[in-house]
Amino acid sequence: MPADREAIRTASRIVVKVGSSSLTTPHGTIDVDRVDALVDVLAARHASGTQIVLVSSGAIAAGLGPLGLTSRPRDLATQQAAASVGQGVLVARYTSSFARYGVRVGQVLLTADDMMRRSQHRNAQRTLNRLLELGVMPVVNENDTVATDEIRFGDNDRLAALVSHLIRAEALVLLSDVDALYDGDPRKPGARRIAEVHGPEDLAGVELGGSGRVGTGGMVTKVQAARIATGAGVPVVLTAAAHAAQALNGADIGTYFHPDGRHPGTRLLWLAHATTGRGRLHLDSGAVEAVVGRRMSLLPAGVTAVEGDFAAGDPVDLCGPRGRVVARGLVNFDAGEIPELLGRSTKELASTLGPEYERELIHRDDIVILEPYN
């Protein structure tokens, strides 16, 4: 077994994400045999003492048959109706399938907003941790019935990566209908398996195509999810659901994304990956150098403009002089207070406006530098 894959075999907390295409039939019903085969593998690993969170797609795909639909609907309301019907069918199947091994299942439906708001984020974290302590297998999906187009994950790959941050997982396993990442469309002759990814340089020139028949996102969202997880020190394996057992055993199968070794605190991971800026602060080049280069706090003197309607404590994006977002931070002032502070030193602000204005616009502990893939 390759040394790196050992991390997957020995991980004591794992997130496993499985896609719609691996769980449902072309008729829009649950593929009972494939669900049971996956459950066999997960129950065996669970029995060995590993805590597992299962992020399962398939609600929409499993709701199609019962509603007499022959393909994934285009409109959101019908997708949500299908998800509502399918999610019940899916969890019922997991519940009875895991019951064969005496394993209890707990349904957890999350929205993008739950991940974005710090209080809800903590709440989800507490619930998942408690379920794991109780020996329950949480089955997570996006809460499709209430998600709207604007505030939707849309794909569970990113959700699974965020859940791996949330529960401080030691590995993330992405199971799909394709056995690995290929350097081009795997349905075309000549495509070659990529066995390992060390960083973005290994993906240069790789064609990341769209999804198959029922999935969403295709390889693009899987590679993004892998980057989010590996950036937090979590190794990722991507392979076919049929190879789940080998992947969990650390076999040289699928594609292994090496962790990059950094373990930022969950708060900064949350800020980088689970929030969106509620506004923008435009920085001059000196402020970019101070904040990004020297990891200093952001002072009003280096800010040239403010956009958006945010409140103190909200996440805001920090842009360089050419408009590129370089960092995100939790701002200490309301949007309306900022214009009169711009370009002025904290000393001057304190003497004219009062000592409470001597504080940074954003403290350095509340700033996360965003890498280009964000």
Ligand X SMILES: N[C@@H](CCC(=O)OP(=O)(O)O)C(=O)O
Name the residues that contact ligand ADP, by CB under 6 A: 19-22, 57, 176-178, 181-182, 184-187, 206-209, 211-212, 215-219
Cβ(38)–Cβ(242) under 8 Å? no
To ligand ADP, the closest distance from the beta carbon of 30 in angstroms equals 14
Whether residue 216 is annotated as binding a ligand: the answer is: yes
141: partner contacted, choices ligand ADP, ligand X, none (Cβ within 5-8 A by kind):
ligand X
| Token pair recorded at residue 264 | 């930022």
Q: Which of 42, 51, 58, 98 binds ligand X (CB under 6 A)?
A: 58
Cβ(1)–Cβ(251) under 8 Å? yes
Exposed/middle/buried for residue 258 (C-beta within 10 Å: 0-12, 13-18, 19+): middle
What are the backbone angles phi and psi of residue 307, rounded to the nearest 5°? -130, 145
| Token pair recorded at residue 78 | 């019908």
Whether residue 177 is annotated as binding a ligand: the answer is: yes
Between 42 and 318, name the residue whose CB sits nearer to ligand ADP.
42
Whether residue 332 is annotated as binding a ligand: the answer is: no
Cα 239 vs. chain centroid, distance in angstroms?
Answer: 18
Q: Which of 80, 111, 216, 275 binds ligand X (CB under 6 A)?
A: 216
CA distances from 327 to 99, 125, 290, 364, 374 (A): 46, 25, 12, 11, 10
Q: Does 215 bind ligand X (CB under 6 A)?
A: yes
Q: Which of 31, 114, 142, 170 binds ligand X (CB under 6 A)?
A: 142
Cα 157 vs. chain centroid, distance in angstroms?
Answer: 6
Q: Does 28 bind ligand X (CB under 6 A)?
A: no
To ligand X, the closest distance from the beta carbon of 350 in angstroms equals 50
Between 155 and 360, name the residue whose CB sits nearer to ligand X.
155
User: DSSP character for 109?
Assistant: E
Q: Does 360 bind ligand X (CB under 6 A)?
A: no
Q: Which of 114, 144, 170, 360 binds ligand X (CB under 6 A)?
A: 144
Whether residue 95 is annotated as binding a ligand: the answer is: no
| Token pair recorded at residue 345 | 């030193």
Cβ(16)–Cβ(55) under 8 Å? yes
Whether residue 286 is annotated as binding a ligand: the answer is: no
Please state, in angstroms and rounded to a whole number, the distance separating the CA atoms of residues 257 and 195: 9
178: partner contacted, choices ligand X, ligand ADP, none (Cβ within 5-8 A by kind):
ligand ADP
Contact mark string toward ligand X, 114..133, x via CB under 6 A: --------------------
To ligand ADP, the closest distance from the beta carbon of 225 in angstroms equals 10
DSSP string, 271-288: IIII---SEEEEE-HHHH
Whether residue 19 is annotated as binding a ligand: the answer is: no
Please state, in angstroms and rounded to a whole number, the distance separating the CA atoms of residues 215 and 372: 26
What are the backbone angles phi and psi of residue 111, rounded to the nearest 5°? -110, 165
To ligand X, the closest distance from the beta carbon of 216 in angstroms equals 4
Please state, in angstroms and rounded to a whole number, the distance separating the CA atoms of residues 3 and 24: 35
Whether residue 266 is annotated as binding a ligand: the answer is: no
Task: Using the Cα atoms of residue 324, residue 326, residue 329 and residue 331 in order, give the sign of their dihedral.
Answer: negative
Between 224 and 297, name the residue whose CB sits nearer to ligand X.
224
Between 178 and 283, name the residue whose CB sits nearer to ligand ADP.
178
Binding positions for ligand X, rule: CB under 6 A: 19-20, 57-61, 83, 141-142, 144, 155-156, 211, 215-217
Q: Annotated binding residues, as ranges?
A: 17, 57, 144, 156, 176-177, 216-222
| Annotated binding-site members for ATP | 17, 176-177, 216-222
